[in-house]
Chains A and B, each alone.
Chain A
Amino acid sequence: QSDLTQPPSASGTPGQRVTISCSGSSSNVERGTVHWYQQVPGTAPKLLIYGDDHRPSGVPDRFSGSKSGILASLAISGLQSEDEATYFCAAWDDILNAPVFGGGTKLAVL
């Protein structure tokens, strides 16, 4: 069981907009900043969004992050087949004094 809660799966068709949620608590998502990762099987997670809504250089603006209270969201617009991957959220936890992660959401592009 992960510290942050994500839906196990999501799906969309090419061109569609999909949203993935991440629920935490006052000690992590609400108080800290949320980061999102994309992981393709057999590779390390890649940072997609940091500090709730910032994109590292090279990440398309189709990816965006938002947060309200204990709930954070990752939105992917203009869905492409290459977006098929597992997406993880992460946040610093003030009680654990460590980053905590969600269980991951496997995105299928139908």
Chain B
Amino acid sequence: HLQLQESGPGLVKPSETLSLTCAVSGDSISGSTNYWGWIRQSPGKGLEWIGSFFSSGNTFYRPSLKSRVTISGDTSRNQFSLKVTSVTAADTAVYYCARVGHSSHWAPDHWGPGILVTVSS
């Protein structure tokens, strides 16, 4: 049974770095034909794809966030992480990690419950 769980600070100060981790159970981030990603949802707004992590170690980032975002994987712990630097209030959102499944035509098919991150001093 695949499960994803986000963890990290719920409050980050402006200009600092947001760091989140997604722990995965029920699938391997390194041996899988699937890939992994981070998505965020600002209060009362829609969903925004932040970036992707592939089992090869390759990453891909949304162009508008590319200069501030890093996604990395820790295969020994079967988890992947998100870092967003120089945060502002606009980065306040619920952050989700998700698996993008080969068998579901590359749909983000399993999601973590989400973690609310507020950027405020």
Report which A residues bind B (CB closer than 8 A).
2, 33, 35, 43-47, 50-51, 54, 56, 88, 90, 92, 96-104
Decide yes or no: A102 and B46 within 8 Å by CB, A33-B105, A50-B105, A51-B107 being known contacts.
yes
In B36-51, which residues have CB < 8 Å from any A CB?
37, 45-49, 51
Known: A47-B104, A56-B104, A103-B45. 19 other contacts (CB 8 A): A43-B113, A44-B113, A45-B111, A47-B107, A47-B108, A50-B107, A50-B109, A54-B105, A56-B109, A88-B46, A88-B47, A90-B108, A96-B63, A98-B49, A98-B51, A99-B37, A99-B49, A100-B49, A102-B46
- Central interface residue in A43, A45, A46, A102, by most chain B CB within 10 Å: A45
Decide yes or no: A101 and B47 within 8 Å by CB, A43-B113, A44-B111, A44-B112 being known contacts.
yes
Residues from chain B with a CB closer than 8 A to the CB of A56 are 104, 109
A96 to chain B, nearest CB (A): 7
B38 to chain A, nearest CB (A): 11
> How far apart are the CA atoms of A56 and B109 in the complex, in Å?
9
Q: Is B114 an interface residue (CB 8 A)?
A: yes
Which secondary structure dominates where chain B touches chain A?
strand
Residues from chain A with a CB closer than 8 A to the CB of B104 are 35, 47, 50-51, 54, 56
For this complex, into which size category does the number of interface residues on chain B fall?
Answer: 20 to 34
Residues from chain B with a CB closer than 8 A to the CB of A54 are 104-105
What is the total of A-B residue contacts with beta carbons within 8 Å? 63
Residues from chain A with a CB closer than 8 A to the CB of B112 are 44
A10 to chain B, nearest CB (A): 16
- Central interface residue in B104, B107, B108, by most chain A CB within 10 Å: B107
3 pairs of A and B residues whose beta carbons are closest in the complex = A51-B105, A50-B107, A35-B107
Residues from chain A with a CB closer than 8 A to the CB of B49 are 98-101
**Nearest chain-A residue to B48 (Cβ)?**
A101
